[in-house]
Amino acid sequence: MRLLEVVLAAASLASAAVTPSPDEQVVYDGFKVVRVNVTDGLPSLKSKIASLAQTLELHSYADHMDVALAPSDVAAFEALNLPSDILDEDLGASIAAEGPLVSFNSIAEVGANALPSDSWFNNYHPYSDHLQFLKDLQSALPQNSEILEIGASYEGRQITGLHLWGSGGSGSKPAIYIHGTVHAREWIATMVVEYFAYQLVSGYGNNATIKGFLDSYDFYFFPVVNPDGFSYTQSNDRLWRKNRMPRSSTSAKGTDINRNWPYKWEVSGGASTNPSDEDYRGQAAGDTPEVKVLKAFTDKLAAGKGIRLYIDFHSYGQYILLPYGYTCSKRSSNDAKQESLAGTLQAAIAKPYGKRFTYGPICSTLYAATGGSTDVSDIASFPVCTLIGKRKEPLTRLLQYMTDVAGTTYAWAVELRGGGSGSSGFVLPPSQIRPSSIEIWQGMQALIPSL
């Protein structure tokens, strides 16, 4: 196999102690990933952390918040005297250990109509290679697949997917619809989604079970639904989350695509209205090019044979999240079945490596399970990626859109590996790609026959 290593330009333009402009490279050398315990409420803790000029919030939960603590903020952080544990001594070193990004010339190795080598799953890769990998997969099962380019991102990249079908022909069955990497820094999601697709392509001709999956459902895989943000994480800032769309009123770039879906968008207490925030919802419902494209495609699937299962893969924390998020008082009409299926998925994921994924409705189960609140009735929705916090902030409208508007039978978000002692959360070594992918594939093999 021919591998050509491509090392991105050394990240040396910006000091960690200086706030970079949006187009500079951001360096995390010397940053520590710190888990801070919540003692007097998350809002209080968040305001204290916000006082640290260069420190970045990663995830917040009911009982703790993970932050990337800048070297220049260490003294101020220590003065706050917050109970905390260091999860990663040097985030910059962990980022270095992820790479270099490996370019993958699979066609030259295996021929145009054969599968790409599964050594793809040994490393992270440049965005352009992900597009080639999808094309290579399509070429390996040409009669049962197509590449989908469903529309352009803000910077003009086509949001690209792979559609697979079985003996009934294209578009003849309900959809299993998979998104990954809406949050640009959640790299593991890209690889896990591709592994799922790879297993279907490689097994269709020789595995009766897998053939049965494809004969029962049309599969739609979109490993990177935020291509601008993902590309930016590879060129400038490993921990970028949003898209890259500017707004006229501010120098801050980016909207959280997951907070921009045109459903319950206007609910107050929702996502941030501040363009500088990581969960900025945009100026109007659905006003990002990415959401327009994804919504149109989703509506098309819904109007066809319908969507049986939708999963939005994120990281980190190991959760299987079910509707509803925007209210704790509402349960899905098929809630018991959803819980049962999530339990099936949880058990299967745990089999290969013992990893436990927590599951439940985004609001009620997880919220209550983590200490909850005495006043949950007015929670507008719940943040999937800044999850389980005592925060009355909205959530991803996406699962609600999928459920209530698109009529998806099961619309879930899955938070993959990462987090906890010794982990930088979003930054996982390449050695984690394969086990993360295998455990989710195990889960899917248990889930799909039960849908």
Please state the closest distance from residue 144 (CB atom) to Zn ion, in A: 31
**Which of these ranges, 37-45, 222-230, 377-385, 436-444, lies near Zn ion under the rule CB under 5 A?**
377-385
Please state the closest distance from residue 310 (CB atom) to Zn ion, in A: 15
Buried b (16+ CB within 10 A) or exposed e, 77-113: beeeebebeebbebbbebbeebbebbbbbbbeebeee
User: How many CA atoms, within 13 angstroms, populate the side-chain half-sphere of residue 58?
Assistant: 31
Please state the closest distance from residue 259 (CB atom) to Zn ion, in A: 11
The CA distance from 135 to 123, in Å, is 18
**Which of these ranges, 195-203, 340-348, 378-386, 442-450, lies near Zn ion under the rule CB under 5 A?**
378-386
The CA distance from 198 to 194, in Å, is 6
Q: Which of positions 341-360 make contact with Zn ion (CB under 5 A)? A: none
In the bound state with Zn ion, the residue whose beta carbon lies nearer, of 130 and 314, is 314
**Which of these ranges, 60-68, 106-114, 260-268, 314-322, lies near Zn ion under the rule CB under 5 A?**
314-322
The CA distance from 445 to 85, in Å, is 37
In the bound state with Zn ion, the residue whose beta carbon lies nearer, of 42 and 385, is 385
In the bound state with Zn ion, the residue whose beta carbon lies nearer, of 183 and 397, is 183
**Which of these ranges, 12-20, 34-42, 121-129, 306-314, lies near Zn ion under the rule CB under 5 A?**
306-314
Q: Which of positions 56-75 make contact with Zn ion (CB under 5 A)? A: none
Please state the closest distance from residue 396 (CB atom) to Zn ion, in A: 8
The CA distance from 224 to 32, in Å, is 28
Q: Which of positions 247-266 make contact with Zn ion (CB under 5 A)? A: none
Using CA of residue 40, residue 45, residue 51, residue 53, what is the dihedral sign? positive
In the bound state with Zn ion, the residue whose beta carbon lies nearer, of 130 and 173, is 130
User: Of 293, 291, 256, whose CA–CA distance to 381 is shortest?
Assistant: 256
Please state the closest distance from residue 298 (CB atom) to Zn ion, in A: 18
Please state the closest distance from residue 426 (CB atom) to Zn ion, in A: 9
**Strands 319-322, 358-361: parallel, antiparallel or unpaired by DSSP?**
parallel
Q: Is 385 in the site for Zn ion (CB under 5 A)?
A: yes
The CA distance from 197 to 180, in Å, is 12
Contacts of 139 (CB under 8 A, 6+ apart): 107, 112, 113
Build a one-symbol-per-residue string for 172-211: x at contacts with Zn ion by CB under 5 A, - elsewhere: -----------x----------------------------
For residue 194, indicate whether it is catalytic: no
In the bound state with Zn ion, the residue whose beta carbon lies nearer, of 121 and 313, is 313
User: Of 57, 80, 154, whose CA–CA distance to 393 is shortest?
Assistant: 57
Please state the closest distance from residue 234 (CB atom) to Zn ion, in A: 17
Number of chain positions touching Zn ion (CB under 5 A): 3
In the bound state with Zn ion, the residue whose beta carbon lies nearer, of 180 and 275, is 180
The CA distance from 51 to 396, in Å, is 26
Active-site residue, from 194, 278, 393, 415: 415
**Which of these ranges, 17-25, 29-37, 39-47, 381-389, lies near Zn ion under the rule CB under 5 A?**
381-389
Contacts of 7 (CB under 8 A, 6+ apart): 99, 100, 101
Which secondary-structure segment (H or E) carries 369? Answer: helix 364-369
Please state the closest distance from residue 398 (CB atom) to Zn ion, in A: 10
User: How many CA atoms, within 13 angstroms, populate the side-chain half-sphere of residue 146?
Assistant: 8
What are the C-alpha distances in Å from 32 to residues 66, 87, 185, 422? 10, 8, 17, 11
Q: Which of positions 111-140 make contact with Zn ion (CB under 5 A)? A: none
Please state the closest distance from residue 247 (CB atom) to Zn ion, in A: 21
**Which of these ranges, 25-33, 194-202, 275-283, 311-319, lies near Zn ion under the rule CB under 5 A?**
311-319
In the bound state with Zn ion, the residue whose beta carbon lies nearer, of 259 and 314, is 314
Angle in degrees, CA 162, 224, 451, rounded to 5: 60
What are the C-alpha distances in Å from 372 to residues 38, 77, 221, 271, 369? 13, 27, 35, 19, 7
In the bound state with Zn ion, the residue whose beta carbon lies nearer, of 201 and 384, is 384
Quote the DSSP letter at residue 7: P
In the bound state with Zn ion, the residue whose beta carbon lies nearer, of 183 and 417, is 183
The CA distance from 27 to 41, in Å, is 31
Binding site for Zn ion (CB under 5 A): 183, 314, 385
Catalytic residue set: 415
